[in-house]
Chains A and B, each alone.
Chain A
């Protein structure tokens, strides 16, 4: 499954991996905003941005081809709209769509490929995202594979029994399968809750550690946020 690969990537120990999640999130937001608002002379700028991202990927010991390929999932959508824009006589917009969407996806991927998701969520907590929401996301992620596996097994079992044939009966069978999956998920949630309460849970999640924002993190943030902004400004000045 895709998120297994991502998890493996995120457990490295490069300089980038060891940076505080908050610094990385802020750096990403600056980068994405710079990409979003640039439009003058975007072609050379796009190359500069791509070079920055590739440098980051290499320094983080990530498989470059794998990363580039994974970010490409955004391309079918972008290319479709690029095609539409091109046909409407706006080739500049077409190029912008493809380049910006790809660069943004690649940058976001770098964040997630160098930060384990639970750490990432905790970084978002500091940025003001409601803790409740983040805990729901954390649990979702934890049980994503468990429940998907269950659905997969149910699907296989269904296929072994002749598959979900076209028409009303097949439709109802699929709905029944979903109903059962729902019920099992619901029961699982109750089981998890019982286990939590049995170990003294009273509604509030306590943290085991609070990450410290170090000098290296501040330095990284300045560099990672400064470079794209500098690139944007220099292009503005020169044109």
Chain B
């Protein structure tokens, strides 16, 4: 089966010359949940920003068979939905319903269709009583769920989440894990949270200095790179 995300030899350099990505090859197969692990600054988030065209580097990026180019961006952004780290930056509309419907409206749906999509998405994440609430009044966990609903309302095939457990307490993290498990989309999760990665992902890739240096079952990768604090005593000088 064709991968839903296919990246070949991706290179990216910032304006000041820092090399952020130094040749990344990556596949995401349908139905998979893959964790992106690695130290801060290793290129994980930069990589993710290439998947919907926010950044443009050298190499090929294909989502659901479409190359990520200026002409295809509208379609790409429907097919792949990114949930960013800070939900406050994602919930920018005055009410929950308006925010979740934002993406659906941008797809060209009528207000009625967009409202229906938004309601469905909010039901999926368990936030049905909050249509008129202002985002500022929600807890961190609720904001995260609404942010996910906002992406689900566009009916994407791929979900990408950047450090989703930041700002969440342990119960919130567990609720998030359960929610993500219930969603059928293929998923990419950038995370530092080892438990989260273990409980959600089947596969993991390890980023280091703009390259993927490990690719395999989540447990094996976590152990291989000493990414679990249980093995902290074995870590040398890091």
Asked if the two chains touch in their complex, CB atoms less than 8 Å apart, one says yes
User: Which chain A residues have a beta carbon within 8 Å of chain B's beta carbons?
Assistant: 7, 11, 116-118, 138-139, 141-142, 145-146, 188, 191-192, 194-202, 206-209
By CB atoms of chain A within 10 A, which of B89, B93, B105 has the most?
B89
Q: What is the minimal beta-carbon distance from B87 to any residue of chain A, in angstroms?
A: 9
Q: List 16 A-B contacts (CB under 8 A).
A: A11-B132, A118-B95, A141-B94, A142-B94, A142-B135, A146-B136, A192-B90, A194-B89, A195-B92, A196-B102, A199-B150, A199-B151, A199-B154, A200-B106, A208-B98, A208-B114
Which single residue of chain A is at the shortest CB-CB distance from B105? A206
Query: In whole Å, how far is A14's beta carbon from the nearest beta carbon of chain B?
Result: 16
B213 touches A (CB below 8 Å)? no
Stretch in B18-26, B74-82, B182-190 with 4+ CB within 8 Å of A: B74-82
Whether A200 lies near B54 (C-beta < 8 A) is: no
Q: Is B164 an interface residue (CB 8 A)?
A: no
- In this complex, what residue of B is CB-closest to A188? B89
B62 → A minimal CB distance (Å)? 18
The secondary structure that dominates the B interface is helix
B201 to chain A, nearest CB (A): 22
In the assembled complex, the CB of A180 is this many whole angstroms from the nearest CB of chain B, namely 17
Q: List the 5 shortest-distance A-B pairs measured between CB atoms, nearest first.
A: A200-B106, A199-B103, A118-B94, A191-B89, A206-B105
Cβ-defined partner of B89 (8 Å) among A116, A195, A200, A206? A195
* B111 within 8 Å of A (CB atoms): yes
A141 to chain B: which residues have CB within 8 Å? 94
Smallest CB separation, B8 vs chain A (Å): 23
Q: For the complex, what is the distance from the CA of A145 to the CA of B137, rounded to whole Å?
A: 11
Residues of B within 8 A of A192 (CB): 89-90, 92
From residue B208, how far is it (CB to closest CB) to chain A in Å?
Answer: 25
Residues of the B chain whose Cβ atoms lie less than 8 Å from the Cβ of A201: 102, 106
For B54, give the chain A residue with the smallest CB separation.
A194
Q: Which chain A residues border B154 with CB–CB below 8 Å? A: 199-200
> Does B196 belong to the interface (CB within 8 Å)?
no
Size of interface on B: residues with Cβ below 8 Å to A:
35
**Within the assembled complex, what's the spacing in Å between the Cα atoms of A209 and B118?**
13
What chain A residues lie within 8 Å of B92 (beta carbons)?
A: 139, 142, 192, 195-196
Bound: A92/B126 CA distance, A: 62
Known: A196-B102, A201-B106, A208-B114. 7 other contacts (CB 8 A): A11-B132, A139-B92, A188-B86, A191-B84, A194-B54, A199-B102, A208-B98
Contact of B88 among A118, A146, A208 (CB under 8 A): A146
Q: Is the CB of B103 within 8 A of A200?
A: yes
State the Cβ distance, A22 to closest chain B Cβ, in Å.
18
Task: Give, as a whole number of angstroms, the nearest-CB distance from A138 to chain B.
Answer: 6
Contact pick for B111, options A191, A200, A209, CB 8 Å: A209
B165 part of interface (Cβ distance < 8 Å): no
B176 sits at the interface (CB 8 A) = no
Which one of A7, A191, A206 lies within 8 Å of B86 (CB-CB)? A191
Residues of chain A with a CB closer than 8 A to B125's CB: none
Q: How far is the CB of A111 from chain B (nearest CB, A)?
A: 17
Q: Considering only CB atoms, which chain A residue lies closest to B55 in the complex?
A: A194
Task: Flag if B84 contacts A194 (CB, 8 Å).
Answer: yes
- Cα-based distance from A138 to B99 in the complex (angstroms): 13
A142–B74 Cα distance when bound, in Å, is 27
In the complex, whether B52 has a CB less than 8 A from a CB of chain A is yes
Q: Are B78 and A200 in contact (CB under 8 A)?
A: yes
The reply to whether the CB of B97 lies closer than 8 angstroms to some CB of chain A is: yes
B99 to chain A: closest CB distance in Å? Answer: 9
Task: Let me know if B77 and A116 touch, CB within 8 A.
Answer: no
